[in-house]
Amino acid sequence: MRAQVMYEGAAVGTVEWTETPYGAEIVLDCAIPCEPLPLLRCYARTAGAPLLVGLPEPSGGRLVLKRRLSRETLKAAGCAAQPPASFFLSENGQEQQTTPPALAQAAPPSTGDALLDSLLGQQGVRWTAAEDTVELRCAFAPDKPFPLAPAFVLCTVQQGEAVLCWTKKDAAGRAASP
Do 78 and 130 fall into the same domain? no
Do 42 and 119 fall into the same domain? no
Region of residue 78 (left: phi > 0; alpha: psi -120 to 50; beta: else): left
- The number of domains in the chain is 2
Determine the Cα–Cα distance for residues 98 and 8; give it in Å rounded to an integer. 5
Task: Give percent above pLDDT 90 in the chain.
Answer: 25
Do 7 and 79 fall into the same domain? yes
Domain endpoint, select from 56, 90, 124: 90
Do 128 and 81 fall into the same domain? no
Q: Tell me the three state secondary structure of residue 83.
A: coil
Domain span at residue 22 reads: 2-90
- Whether 44 is covered by a domain: the verdict is yes
Do 63 and 138 fall into the same domain? no
Entry pTM: 0.54
Indicate whether 18 pLDDT > 80: yes
53-66 pLDDT per residue, tens: 999 999 888 999 99
